[in-house]
Structure 1
């Protein structure tokens, strides 16, 4: 077929330029053209029958993705596989999920009866009415609408003058009632809020104890939590898997496309979805020092990742390019088990999202081997910071890794003896847990890109005084004699606001600079 015939055929199909590889069609995307046989039948217009190919890949659609969902806020190459959802009503799938959970792997259950009584009930509107606005002590995190991400920070570690000091945390904390929060989600445009509500006052064991609820929740919420949650299902799961008590339970409410950046917890957690959907990226703890770059223990953003998943800087964090994880789309009624020390990167997908996060104790479960490096590093950082300070902790870890620690120890002093004990403790902990041959390599990986100042967190900060204060000049209205001898014009100058130094008399005056009943001739000579 010649070039002219190809061009003519492309024009008939309505794709001008298809033969040359340059698309020049004037028709809109997805517009249907009349076929040749339809023209022969006299049809001049084709009506759309409403059927289109979904804008989501089939596999993603099966996992819970929907057309119009926000774009994943992490590099797409990180998502290597999905967290398999197991149906609790199918014995084979339930048994398989229990084996994986026992191994310390993430597991997602669907059709679980844990919160069936709360599905469709605990919406934001219902909670706002149930709790009202009598209590304003609920913690709400506020973020800029442009970033729409919430970074929890520990104010006790944000010390002024510290090398980890964050001048202005990205996320602001506020206290408001649930009803006020619901109003803010509808009216705010420049800011976005996130409600984090603690439900439990103390830990408890389901089945044998009743939940110890917080006092400021309201009677309706307390009754729903005690009566509508299937605590028998929760009890059986904890007993079969060897977990301990339920230590904490948190109610979380957010809006669409909110991001809770990657962070890890020292507790096993269960995410329970009530309203809306969320996308959860999970990264195993073996990649903590191989790409995730967690903040130091003494940092206000402790347990979080230093990498910005929205705009990763591969020059600053080169190992991040090889990190990978698994994704789970949580729908109402789903339960996701997140093992301790696993990084979770959470993004909401619907306009209204309500979920629960339950943290349980380890019980008789042992820590998985993949968690050893992160657990040991937290122990070493805490002890070294207490002994050598923030800057000295990294310095001594580097010296121990390079075998230079004894060059900086004075054997004849008490501080030197304490440092010898500290160095030996570091070597013993790493050798016992990680391995004797891995002491140097582990310590170098542990401090690679970490335990350094974080200036990028204060990059756009300016002192409020520099932005608001303006110099104020006052004219000097005093005469030449008043400036030269202000003590002679004391009364008038004080009335006008000038400062006049008190006059010191060298002559003894009774009642002024000496007692009234004293003799001025002999006073001061005794």
Structure 2
């Protein structure tokens, strides 16, 4: 399937259907002025011809097994195909919390052996920073990325430094449930097909994020497969965007945009690399505030109150007392 046709795969029967509606993310050439405009305005766009990771499109499990090196890599394991992120530094705030995944360190050979073992009932997901622990051939391909284009985007849009490049190798059918990040992200697909469900900051109240002190901070509390509309009634109002990335496609994923990522089932393992950049400084406040600025402000206020109270049990009553009867 050609890269430009990757979005058509969303029509296959085994793609999950949800209760909310979506519209397609625009697929554009990186030289299209509309693509530049969307990036500048923090709007998602799929770029079909950046050549950002062309030097790595030959990567697959066999090639990586030979060339990635003998070091230990970061692997997560789960009893299900869903890999819900959690922050182990916040476990102390929720005593009865049971981590949904386990963090392991293993060689690449060990990881491949695990995912190819037909008798293994566990799910595995490698998420490793591309750093000096990888082999020389991987470094050579990494240096061949289209750094001139992406660095130009960084400068043009006033972003901060590149913080990391993560290599993702996911099993067929794995899902990273809905969450948001606090960095600008170019997500490049190398092998296989990934479906992205995207929701802007105006959908914040529909997705019911966990409290900032919770290990699942920045994650939605709603189970997309079985939403509890009694507990989360505004989830009925959720609307979003959707796209499927194929090899060579690059998704611009702006900071604070909610996203769920699915390796499409029945199509093999997926291999991806992301490019995370710090958001640029806000030099001048312009009113009305953007939805992105409001989410950032809410997070900062919630963190400040949580730290000041020094007791997570007091956070909800504090906010209720602040609002109920005064602003309701």
Do both proteins adopt the same fold according to a TM-score greater than 0.5, normalized to the shorter chain? yes
In the alignment, the residues of structure 2 paired with residue 69 and residue 243 of structure 1 have an alpha-carbon distance, to the nearest angstrom, of: 40
CA contact (8 A) 1:242 1:365 kept: no
User: 2:27 corresponds to which residue?
Assistant: 85
Correspondence for 1:323: 238
Deviation, 1:296, is 0.7
Name the counterpart of 2:271. 354
Q: Which runs of no fewer than 5 residues in structure 1 stay unpaired?
A: 1-60, 200-213, 405-439, 442-526
Corresponding residue SS for 2:318: helix
Residues 326-345 of structure 1 mapped to structure 2, 5 A cutoff: 326-345=241-260
**Cα distance change, pair 165–353 in 1 and its aligned pair in 2 (3 A):** same
- Give the structure, 1 or 2, with the largest relative contact order (CA under 8 Å, sep 6 or more): 2
Please say if residues 143 and 171 of structure 1, whose CA atoms lie closer than 8 Å, have aligned partners that are also in contact. Answer: yes
**1:300 corresponds to which residue?**
215
Which structure has more strand as a fraction of its residues? 2
Q: Which residue of 2 aligns with 1:183?
A: 113
Asked whether 1:197 is paired with 2:128, we answer yes
Any residues of structure 2 matched to 1:491-506 within 5 Å, and which? none
Q: Deviations over 1:473-514 (max 9, x none)?
A: xxxxxxxxxxxxxxxxxxxxxxxxxxxxxxxxxxxxxxxxxx
Q: In the alignment, which residue of structure 2 is the partner of 1:143?
A: 78
- Find out whether 1:281 has 2:197 as its counterpart: yes
Q: Aligned equivalents of 2:116 and 2:12: distance in 1?
A: 20
* Alignment-derived partner of residue 39 in structure 2: 101
Contact 1:271 1:336 survives alignment (8 Å)? yes
Question: Structure 2: where are the runs of 5+ without partners?
Answer: none
Partner of 2:67: 130
Q: Which residue of 2 aligns with 1:117?
A: 55
CA deviation after TM superposition for structure 1 residue 223, in Å: 2.2
Displacement after TM superposition at 1:339 (Å): 0.8
Q: Secondary structure at the match of 1:117?
A: helix
1:360-375 alignment, distance < 5 Å: 360-363=277-280, 369-375=290-296
Q: Does 1:71 align with 2:15?
A: yes
Conserved? CA contact 1:79–1:327, under 8 Å: no
Contact 2:169/2:269 (<8 A) preserved: yes
CA-to-aligned-CA distance 1:311-363 (integer Å, 9 cap, x gap): 11111111101101000110100110111111010000231200011111223
Q: Does 1:393 align with 2:328?
A: no
- Asked if structure 2 preserves the Cα contact closer than 8 Å seen for 1:131 and 1:179, the reply is no
On the 8 A contact 1:129/1:179 being kept in 2, the answer is no
Structure exhibiting the larger radius of gyration computed from Cα positions: 1
Q: CA RMSD in A?
A: 2.0
Aligned residue number for residue 224 of structure 1: 141
Asked if 1 retains the 8 angstrom alpha-carbon contact of 2:255 and 2:279, the reply is no
Q: Pick from 158, 163, 168: which aligns with 2:98?
A: 168
Deviation at 1:71? 2.1
Q: Deviation of residue 115 (structure 1)? A: 1.1
CA distance in 2, matches of 1:230, 1:104: 21
In 2, the alpha carbon distance for the partners of 1:365 and 1:250 equals 27
Preserved contact between residue 85 and residue 108 of structure 1 (Cα < 8 Å): yes
> For 2:82 and 2:47, how far apart are their aligned partners in 1?
27
1:220-270, Cα deviation, whole Å (9 max, x unpaired): 2222211x2011111222223332321111000001111000000011111
Deviations 1:412-437 (A, max 9, x none): xxxxxxxxxxxxxxxxxxxxxxxxxx
**Partners of 1:109 and 1:336 within 8 A in 2:** yes
For 2:96 and 2:252, the matched residues in 1 are separated by 33
Contact 1:263 1:343 in 2 (8 A): yes
Structure 2: distance between partners of 1:396 and 1:68: 48
Q: Aligned pair count?
A: 316
* CA distance in structure 2 between the aligned counterparts of 1:116 and 1:365, rounded to whole angstroms: 34
The 1:167–1:392 alpha-carbon spacing in structure 2 relative to 1, beyond 3 Å, is closer
* Equivalent-residue separation in structure 1 for 2:11 and 2:307 (angstroms): 52
Counterpart secondary structure, 1:108: strand
- Secondary structure class of the residue paired with 2:55: coil
1:158 alignment partner, one of 78, 81, 91? 91
Structure 1 residue matching 2:103: 3-state secondary structure: strand
Whether the 8 Å CA contact 2:195–2:262 is kept in 1: the answer is yes
Question: 1:457: which partner in 2?
Answer: none
